[in-house]
């Protein structure tokens, strides 16, 4: 499914949300939590997908929060109808931290869901659950919209990107770059679908080790690695402590751990730690990229794909200063152009590419 650009809200306009969940407690919690933000309006609720589909044309929501498990019509079945009939409607999946729900959520993301949140469990109080909901869900809702500044009309900011890819253009020759020894990828919102496009396209003989930071919690990263392994010509696995970094495999940072590389003791290995989050993320792209600079210097290809926020900007700046090649996904093919947009607007990207052109440029630089 093609990525959607952020919709520009007009002054006084609010984001219209339909909450779809079979739990009355969750519906109440989400409704009350979102009602505290003046930019968001909960226009309705539904206890299953069938009811929700009836209410969409009546309520005209901008976004759904959609439970994975529901009676009569579950989230995955409803998502199929939504993507067929309402392609511009944003969808955030709600998932519990169980293997089955995590697997279904990854399937939903591959079928066009825009993002997900995990349901609060054992939070101890309603107030704590509400605070967690506001911290996680509200930013994920707002990432899909351009909010007008108070007292100013809404506008879409002018962006001055690095030269965008054009099919007729000659490839940029990066003659000043070092011969790369590793490929590192940072990605967040929209990442599972983006990685499912990029990583399976890497050939079996790809000469560089590949390290990936995808913003996801524990369990999700392992299931993502398993899912990608079945689709790729290179071995894919969730990284483990002291894992050797070598060509022929793709390592995914495990949820809740920063993944770094260490070049001591005659080889390069993965080092995992639970030091404080960076950019509110653990794993963080910046943690990996800065360690890549310490071990490989500029002998790296750094790729920033779709994602919310600016994680990876600092690490990309470190690598760029040492001579690394930097590729960023373009806005049109990104679900959210936060992470790649930050790199582009900082003037760090050598190429700004649609997702489907990313691997051909990686291969041109790598071999």
Segment 70-81, tens digit of pLDDT: 988 989 999 999
Residues 223 and 74 in one domain: no
Residues 102 and 194 in one domain: no
CA distances from 258 to 135, 208, 271, 272, 290 (A): 21, 21, 8, 6, 12
Q: Is residue 310 part of a domain?
A: yes
- Count of structural domains, the chain: 2
Residues 237 and 356 in one domain: yes
- Strands of the 183-187 sheet, one edge to the other: 235-238, 249-252, 210-214, 183-187, 301-304, 325-329, 351-353
Q: What is the mean pLDDT of the chain?
A: 89
CATH number of the domain residue 127 falls in: 3.40.50.2300
Residues 131 and 235 in one domain: no
Residues 64 and 187 in one domain: no
pLDDT band (50, 70, 90) for residue 128: confident
Q: Is residue 166 part of a domain?
A: no
Whether the bond into 283 is cis, omega within 30 of 0: yes
Residues 222 and 114 in one domain: no
pLDDT, one tens digit per residue, over 250-272 is 999 999 999 999 988 779 999 99
Is the pLDDT confidence value at 161 over 60? no
Q: Is residue 32 part of a domain?
A: yes
Residues 297 and 188 in one domain: yes
Is the pLDDT confidence value at 248 over 50? yes
Q: Is residue 37 part of a domain?
A: yes
Residues 115 and 239 in one domain: no
Catalogue the active-site residues: 188, 215, 311
Q: Looking at residue 50, what is its pLDDT?
A: 95
Domain around 310: 183-366
């Amino acid at each position: 499914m093609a990525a959607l650009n952020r919709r520009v809200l007009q002054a006084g306009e609010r984001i219209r949300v339909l909450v779809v969940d079979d739990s009355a407690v969750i519906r109440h919690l989400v409704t009350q939590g979102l009602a505290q933000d003046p930019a968001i309006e909960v226009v309705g609720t539904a206890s299953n997908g069938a009811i929700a589909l009836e209410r969409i044309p009546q309520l005209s929501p901008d976004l759904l929060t959609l439970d994975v498990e529901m009676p009569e019509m579950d989230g995955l079945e409803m998502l199929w109808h939504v993507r067929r009939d309402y392609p511009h409607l944003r969808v955030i999946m709600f998932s519990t931290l169980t293997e089955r729900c995590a697997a279904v959520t990854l399937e939903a993301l591959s079928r066009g869901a825009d993002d997900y949140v995990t349901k609060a469990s054992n939070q101890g109080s309603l107030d704590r659950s509400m605070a967690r909901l506001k911290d996680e869900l509200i930013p994920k809702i707002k990432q899909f919209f351009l909010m007008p500044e108070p007292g100013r009309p809404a506008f879409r900011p002018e962006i001055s990107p690095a030269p965008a890819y054009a099919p007729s253009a000659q490839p940029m020759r990066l003659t000043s770059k070092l011969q790369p020894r590793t490929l590192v990828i940072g990605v967040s919102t929209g990442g599972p679908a983006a990685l499912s496009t990029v990583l399976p396209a890497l050939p079996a003989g790809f000469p560089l080790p590949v390290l990936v930071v995808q913003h996801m919690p524990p369990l999700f990263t392992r299931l993502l690695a398993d899912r990608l392994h079945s689709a790729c010509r290179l071995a894919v696995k969730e990284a483990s402590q002291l894992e050797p970094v070598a060509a022929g495999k793709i390592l995914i940072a495990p949820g809740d751990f920063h993944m770094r590389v260490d070049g001591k003791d005659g080889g390069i290995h993965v080092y995992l730690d639970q030091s404080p989050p960076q950019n509110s993320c653990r794993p963080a792209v910046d943690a990996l990229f800065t360690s890549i600079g310490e071990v490989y210097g500029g002998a790296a290809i750094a790729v920033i794909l779709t994602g919310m926020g600016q994680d990876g900007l600092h690490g990309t700046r470190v690598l760029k200063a040492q001579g690394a090649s930097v590729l960023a996904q373009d806005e049109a093919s990104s679900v959210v152009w936060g992470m790649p947009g930050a790199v582009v607007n900082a003037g760090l990207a050598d190429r700004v590419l649609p997702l489907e052109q990313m691997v051909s440029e990686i291969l041109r630089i790598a071999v």
